[in-house]
Structure 1
Amino acid sequence: MNNSNFRIISILEGISFLLILGVTMPLKYYFENPAPNKFIGMAHGVLFVLYVMMAFSLQKQNNWNNKTLAIILACSIIPFGTFWMDRRYLKA
């Protein structure tokens, strides 16, 4: 496992999170169309789990202390957090 795979997952996870917040949730609640939320929500869930698992597995390889790992994990629940995390911790 390497940082480039984690970068891809983190960016996809961030995009899926923004799609849920900005597109599928308004479609679901304002236009009563829950279908997109089901598909994007499932993709986001899978990407989120992969993000967390990869972060834990890359902790030792990247010499991240527990505080850094906590920040990286917290970035997955903050809008645009994964993009900031990519620039701060992964971009070489």
Structure 2
Amino acid sequence: MPTALRLFRYVAIAEACSWAGLLIGMFFKYIADTGDLGVKIFGPVHGAMFVLYVAGVLAAARVERWSPGVIVLGLACSVPPFTSLWFERRMLARHREPVAA
């Protein structure tokens, strides 16, 4: 697996984990009303993971020669929670498929 694709995979997983942390923090801030420490911690972490995910999509797209539509889909998957995992799995499966001669 090329390095750019491997790094993209790690960043996509980390971005999803940061989403989970932020959503949990938001639950405690807005639903349980017990404070905003989780949002203060995971907000910046998720922001950084979001930026890294976008960079990872662009780097992997360059190495793997993804079409513009696939790139747009990958970037769009950075917005809804956990869709970065779906996109990462899809691209990894595509990479592992044997190329028809």
After the TM superposition, list the runs of 4 or more consecutive aligned residues in structure 1 that deviate by more than 3 angstroms: none
Q: How does 1:7-22 map to 2 (within 5 A)?
A: 7-21=9-23
Q: Number of paired residues? A: 91
Whether the 8 Å contact between 2:21 and 2:38 is mirrored in structure 1 is: no
**TM-score when scaled to structure 1?**
0.88
Whether the 8 Å contact between 2:16 and 2:85 is mirrored in structure 1 is: yes
Tell me which structure has the larger Cα radius of gyration: 2
Distance 1:71 1:55 in 2: 10
Q: Could you say which residue in structure 1 is the equivalent of 2:99?
A: none
Stretches of structure 2 that go unaligned for 5 or more consecutive residues are: 97-101
Distance 2:54 2:66 in 1: 14
Stretches of structure 1 that go unaligned for 5 or more consecutive residues are: none
Question: Which stretch of structure 1 is more off in the superposition, 45-54 or 30-39?
Answer: 30-39
The percentage of aligned residue pairs carrying the same residue is 32
**TM-score when scaled to structure 2?**
0.81
Among 51, 54, 64, the alignment partner of 1:52 is 54
